[in-house]
Amino acid sequence: MSDGISKHYPFAEIEAKWQKIWAEKGLYNTDLNNTEKKLYTLVMYPYPSGDKMHIGQWYNYGPTDTWARLKRMQGHNVFFPIGYDSFGLPAENFAIKHKVHPAVSTQKNIEHFRRQFKQIGSMIDWNSEFATSDPGYYKWTQWLFIKLFEKGLAYRKKAPVNWCPQCQTVLANEQVIEGHCERCETEVTKKDLTQWFFKITAYADRLLDGHKKIDWQAKTITMQKNWIGRSEGSEIVFKEEKTGERLPVFTTRADTLFGVTYMVLAPEHPLVDTITTPENKQKVKDYQEQARKVTEIDRMSLVREKTGVFTGAHCINPINGDRVPIWIADYVLLTYGTGAVMAVPGHDQRDWEFATKYKLPIKPVIVPEGKTEVDISEHAYDEYGIMINSGEFDGQSSANGIRNVTAKLAGLGLGESTINFRLRDWLISRQRYWGAPIPIIFCPDCGEVAVSEDKLPVLLPEISDFRPTDEGESPLARSTEFVNVKCPRCGIDARRSTETMDTFVDSAWYFLRYCDPNIHDKPFNPDLVKKWLPVDFYVGGAEHAVTHLIYARFITQCLYDMGYVDFDEPFLKVRHQGIITSGGAKISKSKGNVINPDSFIEKFGSDTFRIYLMFMGSYADGGDWDDSGINGVARFLGRVYRLFEKHLDIIKPAKNLSYDRIIARDDELRYYLNHTIKKVGEDINSLDYNTAIAALMEFLNILYKRSDANDESDLFKYSLVKYIQLLAPLAPHFAEEFWSQIGYDDSIFNSSWPSFDPQALITESITMVAQINGRMRSSFDVPNDISQDKFLALIKGDERIKRHLEGKTIIKEIFVPGKLANIVVK
Ligand SMILES: [Zn+2]
Ligand SMILES: [Zn+2]
């Protein structure tokens, strides 16, 4: 059986043959000077960290290659480049494990990846290729650092930072997932270290505004918005009663100021030691110790139980002079806002839980509009309303109260309106070897001095022991030759920075380099970048929503402000592929569930493997890898192969048949032909590969029926020719082979995507009903085969339905084909 399947058609010869011909002809080399209908199609470049491309990476590149091929056949001038994110921990850890230098293992891994990309049969323009660990590339990553440094956007400060004990390096906040290292999943701890930061917070508003210009998935934009976390509010100053020290807090709800019953400081707040009373010293100290062990992400978790201790100190509420006890609790972060919060347990659920646990008073100061009381015995009332128990402000709405309370405090010098962000600056220094050295020299007299541009790149030193040190010092410090230099400004003995940059700096600008990857006197070719950028279509993992996809936008905006590029959003359209799991779990070496694409390609061929990956499920959702289905796809291509083999003789003379000249009274075949052309084009375009493939399978059954009935009509022959074109983006080698066998001289990828005849698609129309909560609200005349998605989109856009949905939550949507849709709302 397995033999029968593996010989479903001679894929090995076909695939090798066309890969060779495509390369020889340079079929996929893009003419970058021709920008007519340009389409810069990008996939997130791989880390060549393992020795092979894994299935998740294949899942990014294979289907996107299919999309790019469709667009090419539809007349676009597609640029589809590739490079390697070759610096960084995974590559370095691989090298350590295999006891080779990372430069050597990275080069080897890149060769494997390149071979695999060729095996996919991808339409990569190989003229674009580069690796970020090439000195010719990282020279310009260092240049970028210097440009930011000159603008005050790269700076050093001491801060409690995330430390991964396994990776032995610091991590940016974005690279800590639920308290664990993004790379190795080890629990992250805190260390006080002096580190380099990029001032991304200066771009917080720009990063939010830019969302309006780009076509990204809503959930990705929401993730970025939440990460940036802009909130408008007031800064209100409480004073510690004994010392008079100012304790500013940020709040979006100044209207609840009369309801403050306690204040909470972050355990690391600099005033804690000063204000804590002697009898509370020990328990405060113990709590501070304990808090240091908890990660920032855990501290921000909404579900974690809140803890805290009383300092014994009090502060004064500036609006009414109330004495307010001061606590410390680890859910307050020193790095967010002012490191102090006013607690209003009546109107904030987190404060309510804390107050309930520690038996602190809960005081109502807001009631719902039209009410005189509010029930806060079970939980806080956190909505807007009318102020009560608030002195002169009683009876004011929340919105007015926020404004008026803040204005009164401003008059007293104890408050002002302000904007707060959750976003922190991007920590970019790493204590590891395999990265771009930070191009800074520390001079005892001049301080931090940037290496001059003509001295770039600062090459990584050749050291035999490149493993990280236990003390958290960069291994670059082992090379005295590297470290000891003269100050470029004053000439005295100085020290080179020994840290390397986060690899997310490399990937924050790589897409600018592809147009001219070997340019040596500039980071990127400004003319070609002007012609080809921004990227039109970008596909990659959603896990990069608040890392790479924020960093790249920030760096692009910096380059725009400095006049290096003329656009400030790098990626116009971004889409994410789903995640492939194996046995229900994330694929990883440690779990032993890695799937090697090579063995499947060997057994079934690259085209079959590609189609199977796309057929497994919805591309946006991904799914669990199950190789049992691949036989079905192999059989499908085998059937296409046999059908074409059988009819080759009758198709050859029909290769130039024109649809307009075919007299087709054959409604069924005519409908299926045009329906399939339309559906495959639309579905691949929207990345709905699985339904495009299903349509081709269905159409194949119709063609077999005709074949069995010995159909020799022109329409049948024409349909077979078009079928091969429709299959081409999905099974490129297979389609190219038959295209050539039919007798075409040029590549199928230089042929035009078939157009469909809308006349052939007109189906009878019917009347369907739209209901809300089971009540008919309207009816619509629609095609009798209208899909659920289309019908629901149609009715939701209709005014008669819209007004019943406003302000409601959709609970359920019921669709009865040909009859009705019922939207259940609450
Ligand atoms: Zn780690
Ligand atoms: Zn100096």
Cα gap 513→504, rounded to integer Å: 15
Return phi, psi of residue 83, to 5°: -150, -170
How remote is the CA of residue 167 from the centroid of ligand 1, in Å?
4
Query: For residues 59 and 622, is the Cβ–Cβ distance under 8 A?
Result: yes
The predicted pLDDT at position 179 comes to 80
How remote is the CA of residue 446 from the centroid of ligand 2, in Å?
4
How remote is the CA of residue 209 from the centroid of ligand 1, in Å?
33
Cα gap 722→727, rounded to integer Å: 9
The predicted pLDDT at position 3 comes to 42
Per-residue pLDDT at 1 exceeds 60: no
Q: How many helices (H) and strands (E) does the chain have?
A: 26, 33
Q: Note if the bond before 754 is cis, omega within 30 degrees.
A: no
With a CB cutoff of 8 Å and minimum separation 6, the contacts of 24 are: none
How remote is the CA of residue 453 from the centroid of ligand 2, in Å?
17
Q: Which one has a higher pLDDT value, 300 or 511?
A: 511
How remote is the CA of residue 452 from the centroid of ligand 2, in Å?
13
Collapse the DSSP code of 207 into the 3-class scheme (helix H, G, I; strand E, B; otherwise coil) and give the result.
helix
Q: State the pairing for strand pair 820-825/810-816.
A: antiparallel
How remote is the CA of residue 554 from the centroid of ligand 1, in Å?
25
How remote is the CA of residue 495 from the centroid of ligand 2, in Å?
10
The residues facing 42 across adjacent strands are 538
User: Length of the chain, please?
Assistant: 826
The predicted pLDDT at position 719 comes to 95
Q: Which amino acid is at 236?
A: I
Query: For residues 453 and 283, is the Cβ–Cβ distance under 8 A?
Result: no
- Residue bearing tokens 């070719």: 525
How remote is the CA of residue 106 from the centroid of ligand 1, in Å?
20
Q: Which amino acid is at 400?
A: N
How remote is the CA of residue 493 from the centroid of ligand 2, in Å?
8
Q: Which ligand is nearest to the CA of 490?
A: 2
Per-residue pLDDT at 502 exceeds 50: yes
Residue 59's nearest CA partner among 70, 44, 41, 74 is 44
How remote is the CA of residue 148 from the centroid of ligand 2, in Å?
20
Return phi, psi of residue 684, to 5°: -65, -40
- Residue bearing tokens 């045009």: 674
Per-residue pLDDT at 191 exceeds 90: no
Q: Which ligand is nearest to the CA of 189?
A: 1
How remote is the CA of residue 765 from the centroid of ligand 2, in Å?
82
- Residue bearing tokens 């990372």: 102
Of the given ranges (166-180, 203-217, 437-451, 788-802), which has the lowest mean pLDDT? Answer: 166-180
Burial of 485 (0-12, 13-18, 19+ CB in 10 A): middle
Q: Which amino acid is at 504?
A: F
How remote is the CA of residue 137 from the centroid of ligand 1, in Å?
26
Q: State the pairing for strand pair 429-430/323-329.
A: unpaired
How remote is the CA of residue 289 from the centroid of ligand 2, in Å?
40
How remote is the CA of residue 454 from the centroid of ligand 2, in Å?
18
Cα gap 206→568, rounded to integer Å: 9
How remote is the CA of residue 444 from the centroid of ligand 2, in Å?
7
The predicted pLDDT at position 457 comes to 97
How remote is the CA of residue 96 from the centroid of ligand 1, in Å?
15
Q: Which string of DSSP letters, residue by residue, matches 756-822?
A: --GGGG---EEEEEEEETTEEEEEEEEETT--HHHHHHHHHTSHHHHHHHTT--EEEEEEETTTEEE
How remote is the CA of residue 169 from the centroid of ligand 1, in Å?
8
The residues facing 769 across adjacent strands are 779, 820
Q: Which ligand is nearest to the CA of 177?
A: 1
Q: Which ligand is nearest to the CA of 486?
A: 2
Q: Which ligand is nearest to the CA of 491?
A: 2
Q: Residue 625 — left, alpha, or beta (φ > 0 → left; ψ -120 to 50 → alpha)?
A: beta
Alpha-carbon 308 to chain mean position: 36
CA distances in angstroms from 132 to 85, 102, 239, 240, 450, listed in the order given? 6, 13, 52, 53, 21
Strands (E), 290-385: 308-316, 323-329, 340-343, 366-367
Cα gap 98→78, rounded to integer Å: 39
Q: Which ligand is nearest to the CA of 494?
A: 2
CA distances in angstroms from 712 to 29, 642, 723, listed in the order given? 40, 17, 16
How remote is the CA of residue 487 from the centroid of ligand 2, in Å?
5
- Token pair for 699: 């159409």
Q: Which ligand is nearest to the CA of 489?
A: 2
Q: Which amino acid is at 9?
A: Y
Q: Which one has a higher pLDDT value, 191 or 456?
A: 456
Cα gap 62→77, rounded to integer Å: 19
CA distances in angstroms from 130 to 41, 81, 305, 350, listed in the order given? 17, 10, 49, 50
How remote is the CA of residue 448 from the centroid of ligand 2, in Å?
8
Collapse the DSSP code of 643 into the 3-class scheme (helix H, G, I; strand E, B; otherwise coil) and give the result.
helix
The predicted pLDDT at position 582 comes to 82
Q: Which ligand is nearest to the CA of 166?
A: 1
Rg of the chain in Å (alpha carbons): 32
How remote is the CA of residue 795 from the centroid of ligand 2, in Å?
71
Q: Which ligand is nearest to the CA of 180?
A: 1
- Token pair for 715: 């329409």
How many CB atoms within 10 Å of residue 358? Answer: 17
Task: State the average pLDDT over residues 400-404.
Answer: 96
How many CB atoms within 10 Å of residue 341? Answer: 24
Q: Which ligand is nearest to the CA of 449?
A: 2
Per-residue pLDDT at 618 exceeds 50: yes
The predicted pLDDT at position 2 comes to 40
How remote is the CA of residue 161 from the centroid of ligand 1, in Å?
14
How remote is the CA of residue 494 from the centroid of ligand 2, in Å?
7
pLDDT digits (tens, 9 = 90+) for 624-665: 888 888 999 999 999 999 999 999 999 999 888 888 888 666
Collapse the DSSP code of 531 into the 3-class scheme (helix H, G, I; strand E, B; otherwise coil) and give the result.
helix
How remote is the CA of residue 180 from the centroid of ligand 1, in Å?
8
Q: Which ligand is nearest to the CA of 446?
A: 2
pLDDT digits (tens, 9 = 90+) for 684-714: 999 999 999 999 999 999 999 999 999 989 9
Q: Which ligand is nearest to the CA of 183?
A: 1
Indicate the Cα dihedral angle 426, 430, 436, 441, nearest 10°: 90
How remote is the CA of residue 163 from the centroid of ligand 1, in Å?
8
How remote is the CA of residue 155 from the centroid of ligand 2, in Å?
18
How remote is the CA of residue 424 from the centroid of ligand 2, in Å?
31
Q: Which ligand is nearest to the CA of 495?
A: 2
Q: Which ligand is nearest to the CA of 443?
A: 2
Query: For residues 6 and 604, is the Cβ–Cβ distance under 8 A?
Result: yes
Query: For residues 74 and 116, is the Cβ–Cβ distance under 8 A?
Result: no
Per-residue pLDDT at 293 exceeds 80: no
How remote is the CA of residue 473 from the centroid of ligand 2, in Å?
23
Cα gap 123→116, rounded to integer Å: 13
How remote is the CA of residue 623 from the centroid of ligand 1, in Å?
26
% pLDDT > 90, the chain: 71
- The whole-chain average pLDDT of the chain stands at 91
Cα gap 666→382, rounded to integer Å: 66
Q: State the pairing for strand pair 537-541/38-43.
A: parallel
Query: For residues 366 and 256, is the Cβ–Cβ distance under 8 A?
Result: yes
Cα gap 370→488, rounded to integer Å: 72
How remote is the CA of residue 127 from the centroid of ligand 1, in Å?
35
pLDDT digits (tens, 9 = 90+) for 98-144: 888 999 999 999 999 999 999 889 999 999 999 999 999 999 999 99
Task: State the average pLDDT over residues 270-293.
Answer: 92
Q: Which ligand is nearest to the CA of 485?
A: 2
Q: Which ligand is nearest to the CA of 170?
A: 1
Residue 271's nearest CA partner among 245, 251, 309 is 245
How remote is the CA of residue 100 from the centroid of ligand 1, in Å?
21
- Of the pLDDT bands very low, low, confident and very high (cuts 50, 70, 90), residue 297 is low
How remote is the CA of residue 445 from the centroid of ligand 2, in Å?
5
How remote is the CA of residue 5 from the centroid of ligand 1, in Å?
43
Ion ligand 1: residues, Cβ under 5 Å: 164, 166-167, 181, 183-184, 186
Q: Which amino acid is at 351?
A: D
Task: State the average pLDDT over residues 558-570.
Answer: 98
- Residue bearing tokens 């610096």: 87
Of the given ranges (195-209, 620-634, 719-733), which has the lowest mean pLDDT? Answer: 620-634
How remote is the CA of residue 738 from the centroid of ligand 1, in Å?
50
How remote is the CA of residue 449 from the centroid of ligand 2, in Å?
7
Q: Note if the bond before 457 is cis, omega within 30 degrees.
A: yes
* 30-59 residues labelled b (16+ CB within 10 A) or e (exposed): bebeeeeebbbbbbbbbbbbbebbbbbbbb
How remote is the CA of residue 181 from the centroid of ligand 1, in Å?
5
Per-residue pLDDT at 6 exceeds 60: no
pLDDT digits (tens, 9 = 90+) for 754-800: 999 888 887 767 889 999 998 999 899 887 778 888 899 889 988 88
How remote is the CA of residue 559 from the centroid of ligand 2, in Å?
28
